[in-house]
Structure 1
Amino acid sequence: MGKNGPIDVIVLNSHGVGQVCHIKRFPRRGETLEATNWHVEEDGGKGATVSVALGRIGVSTGYIGKVGYDPWGDMGDQWMSESGVDTTFMYRDHSVSTGTGLIMIEEDSTNTIVDGDSACMALTTEEIHDAIEAMKEAKVFITGFGMPFKKALAGAKIAKEEYQMTTLCNVSPLPSEEMGNLDYLDYIVLNDVEAKTLCGYEEDVRVSKKEIVEQLQQKYRCKGVIMTCSAEGSVVLDGDEYWEVAPTSVKAVDTIGAGDGYLAAVSAGLVWGKSLREATQWASKYAAYKVTRQGSMTKKPGCGYPSLAEVEAFIAGLN
């Protein structure tokens, strides 16, 4: 139970603060490259961004993570709380510093991210278990590898096996060790580049999307796979059922946080009683709208993660 009533979605992942700069292109190895407009963005780690996106579309969300006693931790608490997210289990620890990351945005709006250490390294399995137990009424559990991946997976295992929640895991950034059997995950979520890497393919190898997600399902024994494909939409394998979600054509302004927003929107759809097919179709339109807006967690008008009313108005305008 959260501070303001029952929790529908639990998010276990990192919070950190992003430093953003704009570059003409990604630097070559060993090259010093000029950057402009370097600033601290209202953008957190994957746990904070997914939580804020959920909160702004009206989903009762509880966050689990660990931060330091520092201004970056204060920022995360404030950003999430202002979006209606329950931060009771945003644990504080004097022994760690809240993580930071560097986001480099190229001229075509593509972003590349370098993540710093996550304060969730100090998060214990006992703390994770206690937090999930306190919010055990939740329907959906989301985690990802912005934090140490074994702790993320331990949380998903608890959520599925002890509390029968629907579990989603964004397996990004990809871990350096094998993930093993993931049969307690309903859906692994990743982009097409990450998916090819896990399947052992070179980036330029041509292979069907259906074959890739089927290989991942077989390799990790998860129920299904949700693979985003940038401007090409997304593809989904749910048990034996496969489908492709067509992209929505928009002029991209800022792709920061789009993937996290998509994951949040899929989870919201499941909470609202949509089928996974319906949820991924709605999430695709949500993500298309998000990339037309600057930033992620900023509250500037017309920027950042949108409210439900704003999303619905955008979708209505497509028809």
Structure 2
Amino acid sequence: MKNKELKILLSAPRGFCAGVERAIEIVEKSIQKFGAPVYVRHEIVHNKYVVDDLKNKGAIFVEELEEIKDKSRPVIFSAHGVPKKIPEDAKNYKMTYVDATCPLVSKVHREAENLNKAGYHIILIGHQNHPEVIGTMGQLNEGSIDLIQNEVDAANYKNKEDKKLAYITQTTLSVDDTKEIIKILKTNFPNIKEPMKEDICYATTNRQMAVKNIAKNCDMFFVIGSRNSSNSVRLVEVAKKSGCENSQLIHSESSIPYDQIKNCNTIGISSGASAPEILVENFINDLKNKFSISIDEVEIIKEDVVFKVPNKLN
């Protein structure tokens, strides 16, 4: 089997985005500054490898502040953002907190608040129960934001309160899917207000474009990332829609489908924005044990975005 030649098209950009790098750095710097343990509310980013690594360094992950026994220890809010109530609760508990919300998610939060103040009723395009959506909807009083998940929701949406409408979106959606949803909303509500600048983040857009660029030339496509990572799951969908039907997510419990790969000449690889590069390297090394491999990295755009960590950690 080893002699079988396999060409890998390696999608670039892939992997960590600036928001994820900043969130991980915030946890590491908090441990350096405050000592261990520091608490993190919700997985800092959706990746088991990252979470386990930070646990080993002294982070304890909880879902809610109530679970934290020692309230004198600092707590960090995940990159996905939190409802307004959470920092308020932390203050009531007299807890030190560090907010690792991605600046691009914070931008959507501010957008929602400004639209609300200006008298708009807000539609959020996103996935129910995703922490980012919970955080964005939790910026305003209940009922101020309606969630639309797909084209059917968009087509059936009624402007019950007869208010001015505006829409915002989750930052990690499929660029193409949201395009269709927005088209329906604009047809039904011609005066709907759109964001000044698209809410889907640069990293999501770039990773999806990079996958689109190579998927049609691949017999199989693999996205390294977690099952609860919205942007990773979207990359699999993008690869399928772009011409590689046989696309799949490789997560922490996946076994590599060597039987299928041995029938391929070319495979594509990308990774979600919360997946560290070492997971891509490990995957390629596993393939090297079975096949003769050539790698062609196909980069469509150079990323140079960096987000600073909060001053209190420097």
Q: Normalized against structure 1, the TM-score is what?
A: 0.33
Question: Per chain length, whose mean CA-contact separation is higher, i.e. which structure has more relative contact order (CA < 8 Å, sep 6+)?
Answer: 2
User: Hey, which of these two has a bigger chunk of helix by percent?
Assistant: 2
Higher radius of gyration, 1 or 2: 2
